[in-house]
A and B are shown apart, each in its own frame.
Chain A
Amino acid sequence: MEYFVQQLINGITLGSIYGLIAIGYTMVFGIIGMVNFAHGDVFMVSAFIALIAYLIVTAWLGIASVALDLIAVLIVAMAFTSLVNWVIERVAYRPLRGSFRLAPLISAIGMSIFLSNFVQVSQGPRNKSIPPMVQGEFVLSKTHDFPVTLSYKQLIIWGITALLLLAFWYLVAKTSLGRAQRACEQDRKMAALLGVDVDRTISMTFVIAAALAAVAGTMYLMYYGVVTFSDGFVPGVKAFTAAVLGGIGSLPGAVVGGILIGLIETFWSAYFSIDYKDVAAFSVLAITLIFLPQGLFGRPDVEKV
């Protein structure tokens, strides 16, 4: 039982990170119908930006307060990653809008390769690590020889994820920008005719997606303490799986899908074989596509005649 609870805690933590990335996939898919394969690498880039920011904040500026460090790193990572994704959209996707469907997809794959190679060359191919940002844990139960712990960093990940999802929900549901995004999602041409600047709305979608990915990247760095240029791919594809599982295009679906994937992966590693954890996660992708193609929260496609 203790073992199970511990895995649950670990799984939700991992799932929160996947969920934040998955929102980026699902938002971009919702608004322009494209799977942004570079999104995983944007996440990886954000972890590097967070790493650099963390080193600057601690080593150069010498700010000792952990909370202050974390907030500064988050803000810097979100700002710069947003800028990166804004430029990517401008350069690699917008010129191809209105082109054939595969064009932006191919461009996205190219962008993904470009980003990971750029980081490999500029930052070096080795693992980059940081000293632990946050240490300490709550011991929840110690009845047997297996203690159940909830570390501070896990708690921070849960808290920040919850806070951001709340802010994000408010943005999409209640603000003018959110309404414009949903309108563009349903009928881009009509939204333009009502005076919505579709290009700007799409740009803002990429910016928001990147900001959430940057939070995930910072959390990832804080949680594992290491990052390398190839770290974008696997978490990226898992987050994509999460988005598909939740129903691509559905925002709550992305979060729920992310947490489910995190749990599946963690439990599989705990109870079966850690070597096959990626196989377990990607089997979910295949099974979802075969048996539940619209996902958990997706609307089934109504055929229009």
Chain B
Amino acid sequence: MAADDTVLRVEHLTMRFGGLVAINDLSFEVERGTITALIGPNGAGKTTVFNCITGFYKPTEGRIALHRGDATVWHALDALTDSGKRGIVRPDGALFLLERMPDHLVAQQARVARTFQNIRLFPGMTVLENLLVAQHNALMVASGYTLLGVLGFPSYAAAERAALDKARGWLDRFGLLARADDPAGDLPYGAQRRLEVVRAMCTEPVLLCLDEPAAGLNPRESAELNDLLLGIRDDHSLSILLIEHDMSVVMGISDSVVVLDYGVKIADGTPETVRNDQKVIAAYLGVADEDVAKVEAAVGL
């Protein structure tokens, strides 16, 4: 059984594209309120893992379970798997099998938020509107699916005010408040990166998946981002799953690191143990010619 504080449990995940095995029998767990980094050389299958978790791909094999609320819900995992349903929601907690859900339900019900390697803001909408779209569901319910909203119903007005306050609060914290009414596409690159994280946070996620959030940032910006991510983790006891190539980010903020190479997990542990792992060093730096066979045998190729 999973530990009480496990939020995400990936078990025996395999993803094949025709003959290509992108991920092979991958298992790992993400604990509540921790930052887990997923690292590995190019083509190791990191983004594929993200795509499986967020419902873009349907895994060939394996189980991806996500939980929120009371930990006893985990006991229902096997029953849920056998029942063929997507998830169970109880008053005190919920458990979902993400591999069974389409992407918008992964976002809406399981509350997994993600960002992409490339920036995918809505460039033509203002910064504030970007954040309101992220709160779309709450607003739609409050607006009675818009008819009441159009008629200016008080409950909707209150909900919209609350959404705006929340958005402004986040912008203030991330130093973007001054640009709230500018089109998102006009922001400088670093600010757009931060805005993506803010927008993901506005969906009130249980798990935040960040695909290379520090890509293209200068050292100062990436240090700022580190502080922000640590702040989010501590204040909201949020779990973050992170793909990152920038080792200063990975080693600086992660609580645990999972290393992939050719779709296989080659190491898993604290940044310190992973950093000194021979297989990881071999995967990143290569090895002397005479050791290739030895390393390949160890990795299982």
Q: Which residues of B contact A183 (CB under 8 A)?
A: 122, 125, 133, 136
Contact with B along A103-120 (1 / 0, CB 8 A): 000000000000000000
Q: Are A187 and B104 in contact (CB under 8 A)?
A: no
Counting CB contacts under 8 A, is B161 at the interface? Answer: no
Q: 8 Å CB contacts to A: which residues of B143-183?
A: 143, 145-146, 149-150, 160
Known: A186-B124, A186-B125, A197-B104. A179 touches B149 (CB 8 A): no
* In the complex, B69 has a CB within 8 A of chain A: no
Interface string of A29-66 (1 = CB under 8 A from B): 00000000000000000000000000000000000000
Question: Which residues, 189 to 245 on A, are CB-close (under 8 Å) to B?
Answer: 189-198, 204
Is A186's CB under 8 angstroms from B136's CB?
Answer: no
Interface contact B125-A195, CB-CB below 8 Å? no
Among B106, B120, B123, B132, which residue has its beta carbon within 8 angstroms of that of A176? Answer: B132
> In the complex, are the beta carbons of A175 and B133 less than 8 A apart?
no
What 0/1 pattern do residues 4 to 34 of B give for CB contact below 8 A with A? 0000000000000000000000000000000
**Count of chain A residues with a beta carbon within 8 Å of a chain B beta carbon:** 23
Least CB distance, A166 to chain B, in whole angstroms: 12
Find chain A residues with CB under 8 A from B203 CB. 194-195
- Given contact pairs A180-B133, A183-B125, A196 touches B120 in the complex (Cβ within 8 A): no
User: Is A155 on the interface with B (CB-CB < 8 A)?
Assistant: no
Q: Is the interface of B mostly helix, strand, loop or mixed?
A: helix
State the majority secondary structure of interface residues on A: helix
Residue in B54, B106, B108, B146 whose CB lies within 8 Å of A177: B146
Would B139 and A176 count as touching, CB distance under 8 A?
Answer: yes
B contacts, CB < 8 Å to A: 54, 103-104, 106-108, 113-114, 116, 120, 122-125, 129, 132-134, 136-137, 139-140, 143, 145-146, 149-150, 160, 199, 203
Extra contacts besides A191-B133, A195-B108 (15): CB < 8 Å: A176-B143, A177-B143, A177-B145, A177-B146, A179-B125, A180-B140, A186-B124, A187-B120, A189-B120, A191-B122, A194-B199, A194-B203, A195-B104, A196-B137, A197-B108
Could you list which residues of chain A lie within 8 angstroms of chain B, going by C-beta atoms? 167, 170-171, 175-177, 179-180, 182-183, 186-187, 189-198, 204
20 contacts between A and B (CB under 8 A): A167-B150, A170-B150, A175-B143, A176-B139, A176-B143, A176-B149, A177-B146, A177-B149, A179-B133, A186-B123, A189-B103, A190-B122, A193-B54, A193-B106, A194-B113, A194-B136, A195-B104, A195-B108, A195-B134, A204-B146
